[in-house]
């Protein structure tokens, strides 16, 4: 007896829309948490010309008296968190961050039984597929990097939507770390030199890989409890001279205004690792002086100072810092690329000499 042939998929069968999938995920969540039962979920499903989607589901449930107005409003306000539930292998615990296109959760990776920072990109009907492709490509490229000064990507996938899991750090970034922003006295030279050396170690590794970070700043640096530094967030990185995922960025000045070198502002290609060294210099100035060197109320004001204002000297606000340290930071902040250190290795050497003099006392 011959085995029956499997039925062929009907190519004319319509695909389920993103909105319908998200509505189903929300309905499953409400049933699972006993806010409604399965019969009530079926009763509130789209009928006829009803538009699908989680917000429309909440409206239909409210109009049918199955949830209250307050419940609908609370659920709508936390919709991304609710829809973020259900990534296989992860238990979401709390939201700890949010960007323009992604959410970050503290989560438990159930298989390895460890805490991670889970970055997810919730599906939205208006989102172009290329955004998801770029998100995953960057996560997978980052996951291949191995260095003790770089935050590590542990996992990445696309079920039910793009996500990547990074190592979880029990400390906030240095722009929010109370050990930095709430200290009673400014950072000493030894601590500043250590931050310079360890950040430059990460940049030296990236430079050898042909990678430009493009967003060095306190918000992307982390000081572990023992004081060592990690560099995170490669979301704006350029991966080599030919980066297909950056083709759409032509003539765009991308980065954080307070830390961008002149050539990144004017988008005068090609950028190289010395752009990251400039941002490191701005960051060290901020840690030393307690303020950014080029303040402003809007990006244009800040950009114009990066391009035209004289390089401020740390010695005017921190006269106790050594001349060698102040000169090293000023060289990092040089407006002409050729006047900066040649590479991150040179920065490591310069600040190691400063550190050594502090240790021996002369």
Helices (H), 108-159: 129-143
In the chain, domain spans: 18-74, 88-167, 178-360
Nearest to 195 by CA among 323, 332, 296: 332
CATH class of 88-167: alpha beta
Q: Is the pLDDT of residue 11 over 70?
A: no
**By the 8 A CB rule, do 174 and 221 touch?**
yes
What is the tens place of the pLDDT at every residue in 306-328? 999 999 999 999 999 999 999 99
Distance CA 108, CA 115 (A): 5
Mean pLDDT score across all residues of the chain: 86
Strands, E assignment, the chain: 90-98, 103-109, 114-120, 153-157, 163-167, 211-212, 221-223, 229-231, 238-239
CA distance 317 to 299: 24
Give yes or no on whether 88-167 and 178-360 have one common fold: no
pLDDT at 122: 66
At residue 193, the pLDDT reads 98
Strand pairing report for 163-167 and 153-157: antiparallel
pLDDT in tens, 96-120: 887 767 778 899 999 999 999 999 8
Distance from C-alpha of 295 to C-alpha of 257, rounded to nearest angstrom: 10
276-308 tens-digit pLDDT: 999 999 999 999 999 999 999 899 999 999 999
Give 26-85 pLDDT, tens digit per residue.
Answer: 888 888 766 788 888 888 888 878 888 888 999 999 888 888 888 888 888 877 766 666
- Which stretches does DSSP call E strand in 32-149? 90-98, 103-109, 114-120
Give the torsion sign (CA, 279, 285, 286, 291).
negative
Task: For Cα atoms 69, 46, 60, give the angle at the middle one, nearest 5 degrees.
Answer: 10
Express each pLDDT in 244-271 by its tens digit.
444 444 444 567 899 999 999 998 768 8
> Exposed/middle/buried for 302, CB within 10 Å: 0-12, 13-18, 19+?
buried
d(CA 141, CA 243): 12
Angle between helices 189-208 and 344-360 in degrees, nearest 10? 160
Structure confidence by residue, pLDDT tens digits, 330-359: 999 999 999 999 999 999 999 999 999 998
Backbone angles phi, psi at 160, to 5 degrees: -85, -5
Tokens at 138, concatenated: 């960057």
Cα–Cα dist 105/220, whole Å: 17
Residues 144 and 221: their CA atoms lie apart, in Å, by: 20
What pLDDT does residue 349 have? 98
Least confident of 132-136, 190-194, 336-340: 132-136
Short-list 180, 176, 204, CA closest to 192:
180
Please name every residue paired with 90 in a beta bridge, in sequence order, or none if there are none: 109
Residue 150 DSSP code: B
Residue 108, strand partner residues: 91, 115
pLDDT tens track for 139-183: 999 999 999 999 999 999 887 678 899 999 999 999 999 999 999
Which CATH code fits 178-360? 1.10.510.10
How many residues are present in the chain?
A: 362
Question: Would you call 98 helix, strand, or coil by DSSP?
Answer: strand
Q: Are the CB atoms for 107 and 122 separated by under 8 Å?
A: no
What CA–CA distance (Å, rounded) separates 231 from 207?
Answer: 14
């Amino acid at each position: 007896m011959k085995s029956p042939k499997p039925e062929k998929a009907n190519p004319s069968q319509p695909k389920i829309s993103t909105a319908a999938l998200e509505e189903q995920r929300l309905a499953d969540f409400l049933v699972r948490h006993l806010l409604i039962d399965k019969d009530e979920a079926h009763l509130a499903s789209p009928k006829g010309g009803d538009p699908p989607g989680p917000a429309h589901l909440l409206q239909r449930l409210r109009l049918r008296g199955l949830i209250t107005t307050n419940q609908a409003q609370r659920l709508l306000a936390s919709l991304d968190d609710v829809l973020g539930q259900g990534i296989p292998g992860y238990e979401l615990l709390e939201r700890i961050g949010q960007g323009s296109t992604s959410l970050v959760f503290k989560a438990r990776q159930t298989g390895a039984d460890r805490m991670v920072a889970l970055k997810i990109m919730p599906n939205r009907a208006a989102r172009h597929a290329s955004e998801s492709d770029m998100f995953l490509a960057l996560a997978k490229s980052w996951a291949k990097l191995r260095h003790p000064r770089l935050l590590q990507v542990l996992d990445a996938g696309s079920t039910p939507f793009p996500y990547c899991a990074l190592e979880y750090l029990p400390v906030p970034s240095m722009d929010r770390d109370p050990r930095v922003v709430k200290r009673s006295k400014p950072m000493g030279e030894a601590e500043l030199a250590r931050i310079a050396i360890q950040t430059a170690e990460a940049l030296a590794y990236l430079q050898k890989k042909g990678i430009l970070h493009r967003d060095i700043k306190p918000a992307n640096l982390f000081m572990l409890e023992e004081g060592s530094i990690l560099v995170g967030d490669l979301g704006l990185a350029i991966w080599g001279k030919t980066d297909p995922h950056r083709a759409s960025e032509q003539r765009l000045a991308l980065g954080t205004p307070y830390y961008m070198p002149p050539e990144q502002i004017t988008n005068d290609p090609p950028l190289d690792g010395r752009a990251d060294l400039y941002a490191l210099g701005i960051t060290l100035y901020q840690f030393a002086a307690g303020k950014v060197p080029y303040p402003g109320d809007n990006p244009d004001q800040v950009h114009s100072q990066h391009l035209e204002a004289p390089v401020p000297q740390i010695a005017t606000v921190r006269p106790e810092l050594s001349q060698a340290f102040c000169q090293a930071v000023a060289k990092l902040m040089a407006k002409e690329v050729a006047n900066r250190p040649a590479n991150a290795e040179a920065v490591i050497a310069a600040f190691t000499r400063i550190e050594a003099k502090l240790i021996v006392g002369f």
